[in-house]
Structure 1
Amino acid sequence: MTDRPRPTAVALDIDGTLIDHDEGLSPAVVDAVRRTAAQVPVILATGRAWSTTKPVAERLGLPAGGFVVCSNGARTMRFPDGEVVDERTFDPTTVIASVRKYAPNARMAVEESDGTYLVTAPFPDGDLGRDARIRVVGDDELAPQPVTRLIIRDPDQSESDFVHLAERLGLHGVSYFVGWTAWLDIAPEGVDKSTGLKVALAQYDLDPSGLLAIGDGRNDIEMLTYAGLGIAMGAAPDEVKAAADEVTKSVQDDGAATILNRWF
């Protein structure tokens, strides 16, 4: 693999790729990302909101003037000022009604433009980010206007339960991603991380054939196949590994740094 040309840009998922589930970020990963970002554009591509993505970009020391792809591709932002370069939204009203029918105990959340989460009930600590701003509202107040994504969470259910829930909901006109826990992200139709990466690469006049992408989740599949070289983390689900060109070590073993250190 090292005989490949050096990538012209790098896209990195955050959770499970750079950061473990305890928000740990290893010095080896920070060092590798900083060296990479000094040579080519590094684009964070995450399901997180801008408000919880920006602190990670700051911890990594990413240079000003770059881009981050948030909300699973629905928002592309300029770092560090938060300028919205691209935004995709949808009306989640019918999905909210379906969730209440098929998963009456599920908690739901949407992101407001300022990064605040509106939630129907509190989420488990840290689920929406340690520093996330949260406001509890009723179902009828959750989405008075189009949103970038709808999050569905039920701590009492399993990951496989949510795979089946997605099937029962009969989701039409939207995209969806089942997370590593009982977590379901609903996005505008046709929107995924590759949507935002197309926008970001266009800002640099770069082609996706030169893009190196690293991720671990089902919401990374489109990003990994869009990139010229897609790398799955060692703990990724089988379908994610199948979509990748290669599998690296886990986040606990600094798999992302291992890949970046080949070229940078």
Structure 2
Amino acid sequence: MSLDRSRRPEEGAAGGPGPGERWGAADEVRPSGAPLTDLDPDSAPALSLGGATHYPGPPGARPLDDDAYALLVANRAEAIAPILDAAGPGAQAGPTAPAGPGGPGAQTGPGFRPALGPGLIVALDVDGTILDRDGRVSDRLHAALSRLTATGAQIVVSTGRSVFASLPVAHHIGVRHGWMVCANGALTLRLDPGLERGHEVIDSVTFDPAHVISTLRQAIPEGIFAVEVPDEGFLVTRLFPDGELIEDQRVVSHEEIISRPVNRVVLRAPAMGLEEFSALVRSTGSSTVEEYSIGWTSWLDVAPEGVSKATALAGLAARLGTDASQVVAVGDGTNDIEMLRWAGLGVAMGSAPESVKASADIITESVWHDGCAAVLDALVDLLSTRSLRAAEREEL
């Protein structure tokens, strides 16, 4: 099994549902923080996207001014250009040393040979990557995403969130047609407003949760266990603390929660310190899990063995007739490591832990300084310029 911290959306402080109460339709929920609207502010309802408060960040941080942002875009272009040059015709990327800031990461795939158009996949983590700590998407990121979409590139939300918590984010950034990876790779969805629910699951990986829940329950008996039921919410052994889930929660017995195959298991110990929690999880030994990582809080996601965002994206790329050489991935969490290593260009946010940065090809600024937007703008600038120059050479 693979364990990772979950990315938990938060409800608005006022007007939100209480524990166990259901939100309305995804496009009718109340906002978290300041009101948020979709790309058409005159017609779109407010969204509850949840905050990215799982990591420490500077309260009241301000975005970069225009000059500083332009410099950041230019610097990210300088970091990407050598990676493009290294993956010239016939080039194969091999293992490299761990990354320093802006340096090469642990890329072992076929190199990075992107071209603007539908073959280019841009996989984006949600919390701490496109959403800030208040659950907002910046104007710069909206603009960068719109610019990228106009080239025909496919933006894929790739998150540890549930389907229910991911859909408002995808819709908010303009992704209503396309693809989405949820539950850390256990679920892959096709988005299409013409479908009955606006989406359908095209790949679902499940496992029997009985052994892992029983083992972790012995180590942490006071923990809250939950399993996701796609499009419905979570079955839980107790209600989660207020604000940690926007999905519906239904309290069930231990026997019921282990009675069916699931896409993931969540363990939460809200009263336990992270250090103690980590030690108790490790004490369960390799017979319970083969690998795991623990984030900023006492929260774990247990996924099917061998499943990650990378495996889901690899399957999606194959379905679309492309491969890792045409994929850009941006993330900030330990559940993004495999994705960053697999993608042709893996980008770690500036707020990421060192283990995540070491797995990336380049490092950008944090979410509150529009690090993701800067990479996307730099990429479009580079590829547009190179395409234009190539066309000019052909005319000579």
Match of 2:239 among 122, 126, 134: 122
Match of 2:165 among 39, 47, 52: 52
Question: Which AA in structure 2 matches 1:117?
Answer: F
- Counterpart contact for 1:230–1:244, Cα < 8 Å: yes
Residue aligning to 1:166: 281
Please list the CA deviations of residues 237-263 of structure 1 after superposition, one character each: whole Å capped at 9, or x if unmatched: 111111111111111111111111102
Shift >6 Å, 4+ stretches: none
- Counterpart contact for 1:37–1:62, Cα < 8 Å: no
Which of structures 1 and 2 has the larger relative contact order (alpha carbons within 8 angstroms, sep 6+)? Answer: 2
In structure 1, distance between residues paired with 2:190 and 2:286: 31
In structure 1, distance between residues paired with 2:365 and 2:276: 27
Residue aligning to 2:267: 152
Residue aligning to 1:260: 376
- Counterpart contact for 1:178–1:185, Cα < 8 Å: no
CA drift of 1:93 comes to: 0.7
Match of 2:175 among 62, 68, 79: 62
CA drift of 1:177 comes to: 4.2
The alignment-based identity, stated in percent, is 43
Q: Secondary structure at the match of 2:239?
A: coil
- Counterpart contact for 2:141–2:373, Cα < 8 Å: yes
In structure 2, distance between residues paired with 1:34 and 1:203: 24
Residue aligning to 2:230: 113
Question: Which AA in structure 2 matches 1:145?
Answer: R
Structure 1 or 2, whichever has the larger Rg, is: 2
TM-score normalised to the size of structure 1?
0.92
Q: How does 1:217-228 map to 2 (within 5 A)?
A: 217-228=333-344
CA drift of 1:6 comes to: 4.4
Paired residue total = 261
CA drift of 1:205 comes to: 0.8
- Counterpart contact for 1:208–1:227, Cα < 8 Å: yes
Q: CA RMSD, aligned part only?
A: 1.8
In structure 1, distance between residues paired with 2:243 and 2:288: 30
Please list the CA deviations of residues 146-180 of structure 1 after superposition, one character each: whole Å capped at 9, or x if unmatched: 00000111122344444333322225475644233
Residue aligning to 2:331: 215
Residue aligning to 1:89: 206
TM-score normalised to the size of structure 2?
0.62
Question: Which AA in structure 2 matches 1:90?
Answer: F
CA drift of 1:63 comes to: 4.4
Q: Is 1:37 paired with 2:149?
A: yes
Question: Which AA in structure 2 matches 1:215?
Answer: G
Structure 1 pair 188–258 and aligned structure 2 pair: CA distance change class (3 A): same
Residue aligning to 2:17: none
Question: Which AA in structure 2 matches 1:136?
Answer: V
